[in-house]
Amino acid sequence: MHISQKLFNGFKRRCYASSPGLALADSFHLNPNIPLCSRNLNLPLNVYPGTATECRDVIWQGKPEQRTPTDYYGPNMPELNSQIKQLMKLGKLCEARDMFDTMAHRDEISWTNLIAGYVNAADSNKALILFSNMWVNSELQKDQFVVSVALKACALGRNVYFGELLHGFSVKSSLINSVFVSSALVDMYMKVGKTEQGCSVFEKMTTRNVVSWTAVIVGLVHAGYSLEGLLYFSEMWRSKVGYDSHTFAIALKASADSGLLHYGKAIHTQTIKQGFSETAFVINTLGTMYSKCGKLDYVMRLFGKTWKPDVVTWTNLITTYVQMGEEKHALDAFKRMRKSNVGPNEYTFASVISACANLAITEWGEQIHGHVLRLGIVDALSVANSIITFYSKCGLLQEASLVFHGMTRKDIISWSTIVSIYSQGNHAKEAFNYLSWMRTEGPKPNEFALASVLSVCGSMALLEPGKQVHAHALCIGLDHEAMVHSALISMYSRSGNLQDASKVFDGINNNDIVSWTAMINGYAEHGYSQEAISLFENISGVGLMPDYVTFIGVLTACNHAGLVDLGFYYFKLMTNEYRIAPSKEHYGCMIDLLCRAGRLSEAERMIRNMPFLCDDIVWSTLLRACRDHGDVDRGRWAAEQILRLDPNSAGTHITMANIYAASGRWKEVAHLRKLMKSKGVIKEPGWSWINVNDEFNTFVAGVQSHPLSEHIITIMELLSTSIEDARLDFGSIVEDVKY
């Protein structure tokens, strides 16, 4: 310090840039005799606030005529402190700081008021700098109030290092025994993610108030420990500590996150008893809780009781309508919200866009997209992700991709959504490209992204790319996730590799019905009926309950094996024992089973007795069976039902023509051909694809769009000639054997 002072005094010309090093040294030694401001040097306040105010004190000590009456310590100190506090509350930070800097003397209240003001204004940096200046002043006492405010600043700025230093000081100075300091410590540790330390401080507290209890509960719930948060809430309840609306709200959130509806209802009852049920904050949290727990009618009732709904209340209502599948009501609620002059937030727009997506209302969705662009909230993740989903559901994949590429930041939902929408559309190449991009530049792929790509691999029988995704799932440890595990089984099964599907199934301890169902369906679809039925019979032995998809698999197995009686046994088992209402798919399996067995009258009876209208798939099943078994009249009846649903069904016309031809009724065949021609009915061309060197080659019947079409046709003609020659040679050999 002495050497720095000598060097500084030796400068012929000084600028304020020369002072920070000396000011820093002085701030720790508090030497009031700095000849800086007395040399008429204009020192900005932003260089070092403590040094600037010390210099002003030196000038004022020598020039009493420059002081104002409010600069004296005397009776004006409480008034000045009160004015600073009031200015901070009004958000006039600069004016409050100017008043603070012009005070000749400042006590602990002056410093605490200003620091607290910065904390309330969410400016943790200025608050901590100011506290550091106060810290080095040995004349000022660091009491429980200013330390607790400083800890709040640490929590706000996620400053763990400074917070731990204050923790040590609190223990050393015994301030840890203050409920204000210990509560602030709990809050600080929870907000910086150090849950264990926060709980440890809380457990050592001898006195706890509503703030400390709420801090530990909020911290646990926000960290994902909802059940633990509810346990602390129960203990708080037993300790007879007073409550506030925030305590009830966080307990309701914990109930929602844990899916504990009965606990949430009990808390709801207490909010009514304690008089918090009319609080908007509590009402909105109740709405969210009931919505997450599936009690959507409760949300509607709460909204009806709300005297003046705010943006959260309206958003809860709109979100609830979307979850109920009442998208039109959601859009009507949005219109009413706008008429009531309540401005929507990003979550409101996300729900409204989801409603437009589910209804595939392109015009509305595009208008809202334009509106959020004008408002500048299109970069909000919830909004952008909803817009991507909206465009994908409307079949506008290019627009969805443009929105994705235009996002300034992307989360795991953004990446998973874009991968999923291309996978669902069987755009395998694009899905793989996005997954590769996600692996290199995005977050680690989650189970949804991997399962989506595995699904498109299975549906397009892309075994090698599927194996690559499997390898990546192994590398990042997601192969044991139920969603990925079942998708792997389905991928290998659909690609015809039942051996690898079985290895994946046997590789881990299967404790979810989805994997069992995937394996049963894999066996059933490839004709391994006995294996599928055997696996189904083992389900109850591992303590699992089959669902409606599992029964589709076992009924398909019975279908392929022609086991009619066993199929009816499982059909009745599903309804009588497992209380699963048969769907169209289940009836379709049973009708197909009867049709394959030639029991067409029973199939017709089941169709007539179905509890819902038949679709063209069921009628087509009966029509094909009529073709195979030569039942013209029943076939005509089935064809009429299909043509009512789809008058231009080429397959139905052709199948019926084949039925007539098989029975020698050529006039009807000719009539059908003319009818098809007059209606412009054209048979949909068949197509196939093959993957060569990671390139998809698609072939459509009658279309020569492939760049190597001529070469391919030449090879096909050579193969056809070779096959014909081989057939003729085989025929001559057979004739030689006969004679």
Decide which of 47 and 136 is more confident.
136
pLDDT at 694: 61
Q: Are 595 and 559 in contact (CB under 8 A)?
A: no
Which candidate, 685, 607, 623, 694, places its Cα nearest to that of 659?
A: 623
pLDDT, mean of residues 139-143: 82
What's the rounded Cα separation, in Å, for the pair 527 and 539?
20
pLDDT, mean of residues 538-551: 90
Q: Which residues make beta-bridge pairs with 277?
A: none
Q: Are 96 and 114 in contact (CB under 8 A)?
A: yes
Q: Are 349 and 372 in contact (CB under 8 A)?
A: yes
Strands 695-700 and 687-692: antiparallel
pLDDT, mean of residues 441-461: 90
pLDDT, mean of residues 341-363: 92
Give, for 653, the enclosing helix (H) or strand (E): helix 650-662
pLDDT at 3: 36
Which candidate, 336, 349, 284, 347, places its Cα nearest to that of 310?
A: 284
| CA Rg value for the chain | 38
User: Tokens 């892309």 sit at which residue?
Assistant: 462
Q: In the numeric block, which tokens belong to residue 512?
A: 């979810």
What's the rounded Cα separation, in Å, for the pair 339 and 346?
18
Q: In the numeric block, which tokens belong to residue 365?
A: 């969705």
Q: Are 588 and 611 in contact (CB under 8 A)?
A: no
Which candidate, 569, 608, 574, places its Cα nearest to that of 591?
A: 608
What's the rounded Cα separation, in Å, for the pair 652 and 642?
7
The DSSP letter of residue 344 is P
What's the rounded Cα separation, in Å, for the pair 541 and 550?
15
What pTM, to 2 d.p., does this model score?
A: 0.62
Q: Is the pLDDT of residue 728 over 70?
A: no
Which candidate, 76, 82, 78, 77, places its Cα nearest to that of 96?
A: 82
What's the rounded Cα separation, in Å, for the pair 730 and 724?
10
Query: Which of 87-91, 129-133, 544-548 shows the highest mean pLDDT?
Result: 544-548
Q: pLDDT tens, 633-657?
A: 999 999 999 888 888 888 888 888 8
Q: Are 441 and 476 in contact (CB under 8 A)?
A: no
pLDDT, mean of residues 183-202: 89
What's the rounded Cα separation, in Å, for the pair 271 and 192?
30
The amino acid that residue 340 corresponds to is S
The amino acid that residue 532 corresponds to is A
Decide which of 613 and 702 is more confident.
613
Split at pLDDT 50, 70, 90, the class of 24 is: very low
The amino acid that residue 138 corresponds to is S
What's the rounded Cα separation, in Å, for the pair 647 and 662?
23
Residues 6+ positions from 185 with CB-CB distance below 8 Å: 151, 163, 166, 167, 170, 176, 198, 201
Q: In the numeric block, which tokens belong to residue 93?
A: 């930070």
Q: pLDDT tens, 498-508?
A: 999 999 998 87
Length of the chain: 739
Percentage of residues of the chain with pLDDT beyond 70: 84
Which candidate, 236, 206, 239, 240, places its Cα nearest to that of 218?
A: 236
What's the rounded Cα separation, in Å, for the pair 35 and 53?
13
pLDDT at 110: 82
What's the rounded Cα separation, in Å, for the pair 556 and 158?
58
pLDDT at 280: 67
pLDDT at 695: 67
What's the rounded Cα separation, in Å, for the pair 564 and 718?
46
Cα 113 to the chain's mean position, in Å?
A: 41
Q: Are 706 and 712 in contact (CB under 8 A)?
A: yes
Q: pLDDT tens, 216-272?
A: 988 888 888 888 888 888 888 888 777 777 788 888 888 878 778 887 788 777 777
Query: Which of 39-43, 529-533, 716-720 shows the highest mean pLDDT?
Result: 529-533
pLDDT, mean of residues 573-587: 93
pLDDT, mean of residues 421-431: 88
Q: Report the interhelical angle of 124-135 vs 108-120 (nearest 10°).
A: 160
Q: Is the pLDDT of residue 575 over 70?
A: yes
What's the rounded Cα separation, in Å, for the pair 308 and 279?
11
Q: Is the pLDDT of residue 541 over 90?
A: no
Please tell me the least confidently modeled range out of 86-90, 223-227, 460-464, 658-662. 86-90
pLDDT at 581: 92
Instruction: State the sign of the Cα–Cα–Cα–Cα dihedral 101, 106, 111, 112.
Output: negative
What's the rounded Cα separation, in Å, for the pair 236 and 256?
19
Mean pLDDT of the chain: 81
What's the rounded Cα separation, in Å, for the pair 298 and 446?
34
pLDDT at 277: 62
- Residue 311, judged by CB atoms within 10 A of its CB (0-12, 13-18, 19+), counts as middle
Which candidate, 698, 700, 699, 697, places its Cα nearest to that of 685?
A: 700
pLDDT, mean of residues 622-628: 91
pLDDT, mean of residues 524-528: 92
pLDDT at 117: 85
Q: Are 656 and 623 in contact (CB under 8 A)?
A: yes
Q: Are 655 and 623 in contact (CB under 8 A)?
A: yes
Q: Are 232 and 204 in contact (CB under 8 A)?
A: no
